[in-house]
Structure formats: C-alpha cells, structure tokens
Structure 1
Amino acid sequence: MNINIHPVVDAGEKKGPDSFSGGTLRCKCSSSPVEVKIESQVAFNHACGCTKCWKPSGALFSVVGVVPKEKVSITAHPEKLQVIDDRALIQRHACSTCGTHLYGRIENKEHAFYGLDFIHTELSKEEGWHSPLFAAFVSSIIESGTPPSKMDDVRKSLKDKGLEVYDCLSPVLMDLLATHAAKAKGTYKDS
C-alpha cells in the first residue's frame, strides 16, 4: 500500500552535514513571496501529524524542526505575515496570501522550548538540511480525516522509511520538557 507521508519523507532524503549553515524559506506565492532567512542547521526535524502544522497538499504529515530564534530573520514581504492563532502555544506565522506557514515561535518565556523557532525546511531550495528523525503525534492524523483502520499501515510506512513512531514527541524532547518542569518545581536532581 502506497501512503503519502510527506514528499521529503517519501523521497528518502538524507541527513545533511552539521556544518550546513541554513538557507531561505519562501512561501508558495508565485510573485512577491515572503522570505525568511535561516542561519542554522535544523534540529529535531520530524514528521508531525498534529492538526496545527502546515502540510503540503496531499501529505498526511508536516515536516518541522527547530532553530534558534536569533537565527531567523524576515528578509522579504514581512507585511504579508500573520499569526494564525494568537492563543496557540506556537505562534505560527503564515503568508496571508497563500497560507504557507514560514515559522512558529513560542513567546512564553517559561516554556522549555522558548528561544526556538519551528520551521519547514522543504520551503528552502538549499540542500543540506537534516532529514526527519522521527514521527510525532501520529494518532493525530485521525483528527485530520485518516480512518483509524489505516493507522497500522501508516505506522508501518513510517517505520519502513526509517522513522521512529510516537504519539507525542520523541523521548529526548519529552525528557527536555520534563526536566524543565522539574527545575521549575524545584524537584530536579542531577545524577
């Protein structure tokens, strides 16, 4: 069974070098696209099944990773950017013309991921980005219309493509969130 996870995942993109210095993300507008310069390699790049992330047409998952927010700058048509949902944890900045999400920012200084921006590397023409490492929020694609009866096939397809499958975030990211919470509560113990 052929399952369209995401064009980047389906193509079997390879891991880029850690020394890769970034590129420019462009929205899907044919003229006057929004451009966002990224001056960093992406970290924790993954296939995401949540209903909030931007996905290309026909894809079940988005591909999203993080970069330090100080490595993100809008270089063309900032007037076209709008925040999709100002109540959401991740403030997703999208082109008001074509709807493409360019980056998402966490504004809550108390959150473990504060200081990181979420980006979609497929919006860059430059090659060298890290490929997705895992799939997160896999069950959430049911909320987008995938029949529950297809989930075994989806999980098998993700695993066949080399991605670990999680119904939340990867263990490393969950550990970072829990460590941040423990430090905030004063219950953190090192070793």
Structure 2
Amino acid sequence: MTIIKLHPRLDSGIQDYPEVAGFAGGTLTCLCESDKVAVKIGSQTLHNHACGCSQCWKPENARFSIVAVASRETVEVISHEEKLAIVDETAAIQRHYCKDCGAHMYGRIENKDHAFYGLDFVHTELSEEKGWSEPKFAAFVSSVIETGTPTSKMADIRNDLTNLGLPTYDTLSPELMDLIAAKAAELKGTLQV
C-alpha cells in the first residue's frame, strides 16, 4: 500500500466490510457527538464505488469517498433534519450535509431529465450496520490530483486500487456511462435498444 491513505474502508481491505445477501438497509448518522442527523435507507445500495472527485465528502485525510446510490423513495431523514443544508444548490447532485459536523448525509438529483434522477447518493460508512454493498470500482481517480495528491503517487494509487479489486476509471464505470449516454440519446430522440 502507498503511504497516502485512500479511505479507511479501503486501506484495511474491502473484505472487512462484506456485503450480505438480503440486506435491507439501515440508518446513517452524522458525526456529531449529540443530536445526530439520522437518515434511514430502506434498501440495499447499488453502484458502490470509491470516488476521487472534489465534490464528494471524504473522511479526514482520505483521498477517496465511498459512495453508493439508493432509490430516492427509500431515503428518509428521521432525525434532526433542521441541521441539514445543501453544499451547492447549483450542482447536479444536491448534497445535503450536517451544518455542525460537515458529513454529507445524502445527495439528491432534482432534475428529472438527469440519467440518475430517482437515485440518492449515500455514504454507508456513516452506518453502524454491516452488510451494505461493497465498492466495485474507483471513479474519477485522476481528480485526486486536484485535491492535493502528488502526480508522482498516481501509479501507486491506481495499483493499490487494482489490487483491492477495484477497476480504475477517470469517469464513472462503463455501465454507468452507458446509462448517462442512453439518457442523452433518449432526450435527443436517438435512443436505440
């Protein structure tokens, strides 16, 4: 492993957090000592991945976030919603974060024409329950350069991610990029199936 920390759940190995068949969700809580924001996720997550973009919330000293999606209908704030604010209201993903501790609780897309409309982005590391979907790939890997990672460390980082079983991309995975392109084609009237 490199001396640069990727993420606590990656640095110790993905096997420490195995996905459980039939897992039906759990509760995410912010990092505050008391009066925690709590968000209930009523399903298993999908498309879990390490993300190097500069917009996703990351634990202290981590270069990557671990982020997955859940159906919007299964995401519900159940405690201290008054502590939530949106990081950037002009962004495609409306990231709702705790104003006190800074943890991103969920990200929602409000644009009904967006390919990922109906999916909320969540950080399952904020849950004490075990069994959430495991990371399957690393996205926006080159973006960690923008947040201060030396370019000289990139080969090591990609190697570490690959050794963890996470294919590396500088966008999203091909499957998700296909969904984005299909939505664009649908909106243009050129989609063929």
TM-score (norm 1): 0.97
1:125-164 equivalences in 2 (<5 Å): 125-164=128-167
User: What's the CA shift for 1:67?
Assistant: 0.2
In structure 1, C-alpha distance between the alignment counterparts of 2:59 and 2:150, rounded to whole Å: 20
Query: What residue in structure 1 maps to residue 89 of structure 2?
Result: 86
User: What's the CA shift for 1:184?
Assistant: 1.1
Query: What residue in structure 2 maps to residue 97 of structure 1?
Result: 100
1:20-169 equivalences in 2 (<5 Å): 20-169=23-172
Look up the equivalent residue of 2:105 and give its one-letter code.
L
User: What's the CA shift for 1:175?
Assistant: 0.4
In structure 1, C-alpha distance between the alignment counterparts of 2:14 and 2:160, rounded to whole Å: 15
RMSD: 0.9
Higher mean displacement: 103-112 or 16-25: 16-25
8 Å contact kept, 1:18–1:41: no
CA deviation map 1:20-56 (0-9, x unaligned): 0001000000011100000010100000000000000
In structure 2, C-alpha distance between the alignment counterparts of 1:43 and 1:49, rounded to whole Å: 18
**Number of residue-to-residue matches in the alignment:** 190
Look up the equivalent residue of 1:92 and give its one-letter code.
R
Percent of pairs with identical residues: 57
User: What's the CA shift for 1:19?
Assistant: 1.2
Look up the equivalent residue of 1:13 and give its one-letter code.
I
CA deviation map 1:122-170 (0-9, x unaligned): 0000000011000000000000000111111110011011100000000
In structure 2, C-alpha distance between the alignment counterparts of 1:13 and 1:142, rounded to whole Å: 23
Does the residue aligned with 1:44 lie in a helix, a strand or coil?
A: strand
In structure 1, C-alpha distance between the alignment counterparts of 2:21 and 2:74, rounded to whole Å: 15
Look up the equivalent residue of 1:8 and give its one-letter code.
R
Look up the equivalent residue of 1:160 and give its one-letter code.
N
8 Å contact kept, 2:14–2:164: no
Structure 2 segments unaligned to the other structure (5+ residues): none
Does the residue aligned with 2:49 lie in a helix, a strand or coil?
A: strand
User: What's the CA shift for 1:58?
Assistant: 1.2
TM-score (norm 2): 0.96
Shift >3 Å, 4+ stretches: none
8 Å contact kept, 1:135–1:166: yes
User: What's the CA shift for 1:188?
Assistant: 1.2
Does the residue aligned with 1:65 lie in a helix, a strand or coil?
A: strand
Does the residue aligned with 1:189 lie in a helix, a strand or coil?
A: coil
Look up the equivalent residue of 1:10 and give its one-letter code.
D
